[in-house]
Amino acid sequence: MLRNVRAVLPLLEPKLYQTHSLRTFWSMLVPWDSLALALYVLSAAVVLGLTIACWKRSPGVPLPLRYSVLLLASVLVAPHLTIYDLVILAPAFILLADWLLGQPPTPWNRCLGTLLYLVYMLPLLGPFTRWTHVQLSVVAMAITVYLIWSITRGSSSPPSAEGTARIS
């Protein structure tokens, strides 16, 4: 039975556009199953690596950032995460929003605020994925993980912050 799971997998899962994880992102985007699986494993390893890096820096990284990146990574890496499972992101939204309110307004923080909003809203566009084959919610979550990782590295402002400050 276990050898035939792949054949019956479409019968066991909901519609792909109702799931928001890296596995379904690549399955919808790439028509070849083995390539989609390889891209899923590779991208999941990158997301897990970024998450581990955030937690390894734990003494200097605020808990809201570490916990939020952990929840985002859990959603991205989960192979069978459906739309109702996105409730796991509620603590991440609350923690990140609270953390952002206590931070000075920098370009990185504004970008993180925008991504937080997109991660919250883009799952509503899931049905459009049937035609576009791109889950924008997954893209927004992956970028958010990367941005949190960048913030935890200590780069609190992007390289062009001086140029932006002069224009303002």
pLDDT confidence of residue 162 = 39
Contact yes or no for 47/77 (Cβ under 8 A): yes
Q: Binning pLDDT at 50, 70 and 90, where does residue 168 land?
A: very low
Tell me if 127 is assigned to some domain: yes
Q: Tokens 């899962």 correspond to what residue?
A: 13
Phi-psi region of 21 (alpha: psi -120 to 50; beta: other; left: phi over 0): beta
Determine the Cα–Cα distance for residues 42 and 142; give it in Å rounded to an integer: 13
Range of the domain at 137: 15-159
Helices and strands (DSSP H and E) totals, the chain: 9, 0
Tell me if 9 is assigned to some domain: no
Of residues 77, 78, 51, the one with CA closest to residue 65: 51
Model confidence over 108-161: pLDDT tens digits? 888 999 999 998 888 888 777 778 778 888 999 999 999 999 888 874 334 344
Determine the Cα–Cα distance for residues 100 and 26; give it in Å rounded to an integer: 31
pLDDT confidence of residue 163 = 37
Tell me if 38 is assigned to some domain: yes
Tell me if 3 is assigned to some domain: no
The number of domains in the chain is 1
**Residue 34, SS3 per DSSP:** helix
pLDDT confidence of residue 145 = 93
CA torsion 72-41-146-54 (nearest 10°) is 70
End-to-end CA, the chain: 64
Model confidence over 7-56: pLDDT tens digits? 776 666 667 767 788 988 898 888 888 999 999 999 999 999 999 998 88
Tell me if 49 is assigned to some domain: yes
Question: Is pTM beyond 0.85 here?
Answer: no
Tokens of 111: 């970008």
Tell me if 6 is assigned to some domain: no
Tell me if 8 is assigned to some domain: no
